[in-house]
Amino acid sequence: MKHTISCLVRNQPGVLAQVAESFARDKINISSLAAGTTEDPSVSRMTIVVEGDDTTVAHVERVVQEMPSVLRIEDLASREFFARELLLVKVKAAPESISRIMQMAEMFDARVIGVTPRTMTLELAADDRRIDAMLKLLEPLKIVSMARSGRIAVSAEEEP
């Protein structure tokens, strides 16, 4: 089962590595990890996406929760949450394909953020299914390079 874990930690050097190592020790692969400061500059939110059985993931959550730098950890899989990922993708843009690229950008609410004589770079903030769908449609045009941020997420419920 896929788990999206939200972890509030003190904004200190080495915390991200300590949390990630806890998952590695239990042989849980992290498929996405994003971290950044919150509304409080002394606190960072880590969003960790892992694939694993409920028992193993719950065990790692308990281990992580006991770390002094961890303020709160919660598995969002059992509740409603908002999640987005950022995609930057550069595609070949021959004159005959520009209108097609523009149509795709409009269809997915992506923005054109760069144009050169041979490429166009698009930006899309969306859920992973929407990003995957756009990439599938762009593949025939030849993707030159891309970068994905990994999932960021917050609970849809009020914070305690």
List, for residues 96-129, the tens digit of each pLDDT value.
999 999 999 999 999 999 999 999 999 999 999 9
d(CA 142, CA 62): 44
Q: Give the three-class secondary structure for 61.
A: helix
* Residue 78, pLDDT score: 81
What confidence category does residue 159 fall into, taking pLDDT thresholds of 50, 70 and 90?
Answer: low
Q: Percent of the chain at pLDDT above 70?
A: 99
8 Å CB contact between 84 and 138:
no
CA–CA gap between residue 24 and residue 143 (Å, rounded): 32
Predicted local confidence at residue 110, as pLDDT: 98
Domain termination residue (choose one: 43, 78, 113): 78
In sequence order, which ranges of the chain are alpha helices (DSSP H)? 15-25, 54-65, 98-108, 128-138
Tell me how far apart the terminal alpha carbons of the chain are, to the nearest angstrom. Answer: 26
Could you tell me the CATH number of the domain that includes residue 33?
3.30.70.260
Last residue of a domain, one of 28, 58, 78: 78
| pTM of the full structure | 0.84
Answer whether residue 4 shows pLDDT above 70. Answer: yes
